[in-house]
Amino acid sequence: MTQTITLNDGNKIPAIGFGVFQIPADGSTYTAVKEALEVGYRHIDTAQAYFNEKEVGQAIKDSGIPREEIFVTSKLWIQDFAYETAKSTIDATLEKMGLDYLDLYLLHQPYGEVEQAWKALEEAKAAGKIKSIGVSNFTPTFWKQFVPNFATIPAVNQVEFNPYFQQKELRELLAEDQVTIEAWAPLGQGNKELFEEPIITELASKYGKDVGQIILRFENQEGIVALPKSTKKSRMASNKDIFDFELTVEEMAALRALDKGKGSHDPDAPGVGEYLLTAYDIHAND
């Protein structure tokens, strides 16, 4: 049975998911998703800007698992945030993925026509095309800028999160509206320093787990939905095998003390929005 977290809109999200960022759409994504489903994942996270939505949809279809048992997320890229474009992109995404609905759809970045895009998401949710809607990479600054103008509070904010970057200010802000945080780079993108932290290696020995499992268990106990990525089936399996032990209050406190307060990506940095808007053309291969 997959552990779930109840979102602020009443829908349930599996507590751990499988992310497909940077997995190529050359059959690799199809294979990875199929294997992730085989080892028991029921939550797959993709995005328009990952260029692999189609393979994700095909793997889900070919898995033989009933659609309602798989939680599927995708994200709208900033190039398509204008209201009419966003509406047609949602329909095109469902068609591309071969799905009648998405369980969660996010605004991928906090730049451009954010409020227009959010309105399109709200309407798609009302129409049953999307079950839950949320945002991604929203810092406290962007949250305060945009969310007060939304008719609906996002159910999710997907941001960088790991023991070195625990998003304390953001979590306090989001707790007011019971917004669930999803972690991209939940293992710190394989940061060697993080994986060699004495407290983490000690806990791995104590519990007979690997370092990654200790990190993911910490995040799970913090109420964070983690989205680890791997193309190795054995690693996929171990990443989700985190529910048969529990870290103590003291151990959680020791892991919280690892927080450095900053990550590898700063959405608030000058020029990030402009760069992402012009960096590449999402429709170059359409």
Residue 105 among the catalytic residues? no
Reported as half-sphere exposure (CB side, CA atoms, 13 A), residue 149 has a value of: 12
Pick out the residues of the known binding site.
108
Q: How far apart are alpha carbons 110 and 273 in whole angstroms?
A: 8
Q: Of 30, 41, 50, 111, which is the active-site residue? A: 50
- Return the pLDDT at 99: 97
Residue 231 dihedral angles phi and psi, to the nearest 5°: -105, 5
Residue carrying structure tokens 């900033």: 78
Question: In the prediction, which pLDDT does 284 show?
Answer: 80
User: By the 8 A CB rule, do 160 and 184 touch?
Assistant: yes
**Residues whose CB falls within 8 Å of the CB of residue 161, separated by 6 or more in sequence, listed in order:** 167, 181, 182, 183, 184, 185, 186, 219, 224, 226, 263
Tokens of 270: 């000058």
The rounded distance, in Å, linking the Cα atoms of 120 and 268 is 25
Q: Is 216 exposed, middle or buried (0-12, 13-18, 19+ CB in 10 A)?
A: buried
280: three-class secondary structure by DSSP: coil
Element (H, E) at 213: helix 211-221
111 within 8 A of 86, measured Cβ to Cβ: no
The annotated binding site for substrate is made up of: 108
CATH superfamily of the domain spanning 4-279? NADP-dependent oxidoreductase domain (3.20.20.100)
Residue 286 has a pLDDT of 72
Cβ atoms of 102 and 131 closer than 8 Å: yes
Place of tokens 């095309």: 129
Q: Which residues of the chain fall below pLDDT 50?
A: none
Q: Report pLDDT digits (tens) over 200-215.
A: 999 999 999 999 999 9
- CA 94 remoteness from chain centre: 18
- Mind listing the pLDDT tens digit for each residue in 61-92? 999 999 999 999 999 999 999 999 999 999 99
The helix (H) or strand (E) run that includes residue 104 is strand 102-107
Q: What is the pLDDT of residue 285?
A: 75
Q: What's the confidence (pLDDT) of residue 281? A: 83
Q: What is the pLDDT of residue 89?
A: 97
Domains of the chain, residue spans: 4-279
Q: What are phi and psi of 84, to 5 degrees?
A: -65, -40
Q: Which residues, including other chains, have CB under 8 Å from residue 244's CB and lie 6 or more apart? A: none
